[in-house]
């Protein structure tokens, strides 16, 4: 087992990463409140892991809330349903909420925990690769609005994160790849050596080789823990973790939540950000072509955005991005592999060229 600590003073917490951790009853005990435990999961994950996780919390009275699966349910109606169940059941401030699932369940549960009775204990048990490397760590919680992704939420840290890599064996290949988009993001933003390692070991990682995948999860959690410790509320450096997300969130919202996987739209957005960085003259063509090739060819990710989103629609949606300031859309762009910056005031013609490049992204400039 690896342990990565997120250092946030008296709100510090460990991320446990390892094979078979969901059998380790002792592991969770220090992070439980004195009250009841409510496991929040969905109707796809529950038949796979709910019974096992109930055993993990058998030291307390355990109840469950099973949500319908899918990004389309990551909204305030679901939060309201959770409040109804908790209030009707007279769950008090000693309650611990446990998120058992991917990023959707994790973000919803964290937001419910942040707001129920002004904040109760919660634990993350991420069961997708994306959730193990990204969404379960760092305390971003929340839901979507029909006008934009993740626009309603709170920063609220879990007491611990338990990433059992064994659960990834039931994850469909498409979901593994979507998680790998976020893994590649860490390399592009912070760590050129990690990006090279990912590109050299792509075959084994795409096969979910347990040793390499665990190593990748650990590296991502170490990078994220360091960033969150420095900039918990995204006043600066943390924004760089949004590489590809300004474009990606617009695609996700315009396409209808759930039609593309979050990680897939991040992959498209990363290639769009690389393309724009190249058009700005910040990185050369061989570098952007390499970035596209690693995502598209080595990792089999979709990188060409849907054709039916107009420039106007992109601009409108991206103005709702949380990084936008006073009508200025700000993008995470690349100065090099492993070096990202946040930049606003982008030339409209260059931006339009990226938004309309389609399958020519990173290939054909002006």
Closest contact distance (angstroms) between CB of 160 and ligand GLY is 17
Q: Establish if 175 lies at the interface with ligand NAD (CB under 6 A).
A: yes
Asked about 224 being catalytic, the answer comes back as: yes
Any catalytic annotation for residue 90? no
CB of 285 to ligand NAD, least distance (A): 30
Helix (H) or strand (E) holding 98: strand 96-101
Q: How far apart are CA 238 and CA 236, in angstroms?
A: 6
- 293: Cα separation from own chain's centroid: 22
Q: Does 185 help bind ligand NAD (rule: CB under 6 A)?
A: no
Do 185 and 198 meet the contact criterion of CB atoms below 8 Å apart? no
Residues 189-218 that bind ligand NAD (CB under 6 A): none
130 binds ligand NAD (CB under 6 A): yes
DSSP label at residue 325:
B
45 makes contact, choosing from ligand GLY, ligand NAD, none, with CB < 5 to 8 Å by partner type, with ligand NAD
Q: At what angle do helices 103-115 and 76-88 cross, to 10 degrees?
A: 50
Active site residue 296: no
Active site residue 185: no
Q: Which of 71, 175, 232, 234 is catalytic?
A: 234
Is residue 101 within the footprint of ligand NAD (CB under 6 A)?
A: yes
> What residue ranges bind ligand GLY (CB under 6 A)?
134, 138, 140, 238, 241-242
Query: Among 365, 324, 315, 362, which Cα is nearest to 342's?
Result: 324
The CB-of-182 to ligand GLY minimum distance in angstroms stands at: 7
Is 81 in the active site?
no
69 in contact with ligand NAD (CB under 6 A): yes
* Residue 159 contacts residue 121 (beta carbons within 8 Å): yes
For ligand NAD, which is the closer residue by CB, 69 or 191?
A: 69
- Whether residue 118 contacts residue 201, with contact meaning beta carbons closer than 8 Å, is answered with no
Interacting partner of 102 out of ligand NAD, ligand GLY, none (Cβ under 5 to 8 A depending on kind) = ligand NAD
Task: Pick the catalytic residue from 71, 74, 159, 182.
Answer: 182
Spell out the alpha helix ranges (H) of 207-244: 210-230
Q: Which residues of 176-208 are buried (b: 16+ CB within 10 A; e: fewer)?
A: bbbbbbbbbbbbbbbbeebbebbbeebeebbeb
Q: What is the CA radius of gyration of the chain?
A: 20
Which residues from 134-163 bind ligand NAD, rule CB under 6 A? 134-135, 138, 140, 149-150
Based on the residue annotation, tell me whether 146 is a catalytic residue of this protein: no
Cα separation values, 55 from 15, 109, 113, 198, 293, Å: 20, 20, 22, 36, 44
Q: By C-beta, is 202 or 241 nearer to ligand GLY?
A: 241
- Footprint of ligand NAD on this chain (CB under 6 A)? 42, 44-45, 48, 69, 71, 74, 101-105, 107, 127-128, 130-131, 134-135, 138, 140, 149-150, 167, 170-171, 175, 178, 262-263
Question: Which residues belong to the active site?
Answer: 118, 140, 182, 224, 234, 238, 242, 245, 249, 262
């Amino acid at each position: 087992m690896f342990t990565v600590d997120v250092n946030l003073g008296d709100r510090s917490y460990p991320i446990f990463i390892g094979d078979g951790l969901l059998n380790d009853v002792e592991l969770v005990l220090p992070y439980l409140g004195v009250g009841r435990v409510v496991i929040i999961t969905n109707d796809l994950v529950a038949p796979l892991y709910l019974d096992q996780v109930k055993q993990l919390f058998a030291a307390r009275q355990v109840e469950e809330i099973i949500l319908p699966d899918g990004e389309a349910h990551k909204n305030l109606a679901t939060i309201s349903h959770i409040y109804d169940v908790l209030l009707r059941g007279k769950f008090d401030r000693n309650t611990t909420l446990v998120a058992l699932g991917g990023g959707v369940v994790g973000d919803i549960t964290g937001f419910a925990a942040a707001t129920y009775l002004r904040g109760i204990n919660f634990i993350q048990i991420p069961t997708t690769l994306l959730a193990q490397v990204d969404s379960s760590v760092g305390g971003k919680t929340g839901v979507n609005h029909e006008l934009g992704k993740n626009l309603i939420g709170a920063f609220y840290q879990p007491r611990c994160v338990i990433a059992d890599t064994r659960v990834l064996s039931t994850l469909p290949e498409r979901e593994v790849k979507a998680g790998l988009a976020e893994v590649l993001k860490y390399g592009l933003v912070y760590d050129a050596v990690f990006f090279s390692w990912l590109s050299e070991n792509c075959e084994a990682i795409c096969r979910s080789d347990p040793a390499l995948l665990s190593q990748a999860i650990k590296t991502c959690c170490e990078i994220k823990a360091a960033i969150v410790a420095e900039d918990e509320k995204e006043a600066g450096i943390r924004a760089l973790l949004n590489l590809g997300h300004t474009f990606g969130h617009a695609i996700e919202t315009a396409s209808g939540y759930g039609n593309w996987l979050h990680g897939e739209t991040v992959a498209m957005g990363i290639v769009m950000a690389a393309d724009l960085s190249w058009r700005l003259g910040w990185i050369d063509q061989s570098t952007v072509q390499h970035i596209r090739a690693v995502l598209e060819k080595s990792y089999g990710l979709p990188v060409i955005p849907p054709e039916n989103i107009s420039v106007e629609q992109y601009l409108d949606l991206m103005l709702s991005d949380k990084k936008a300031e006073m009508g200025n859309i700000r993008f995470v762009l690349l100065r090099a592999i492993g070096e990202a910056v946040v930049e606003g005031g982008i030339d409209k013609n260059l931006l339009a060229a990226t938004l309309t490049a389609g399958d020519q992204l990173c290939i054909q400039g002006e």
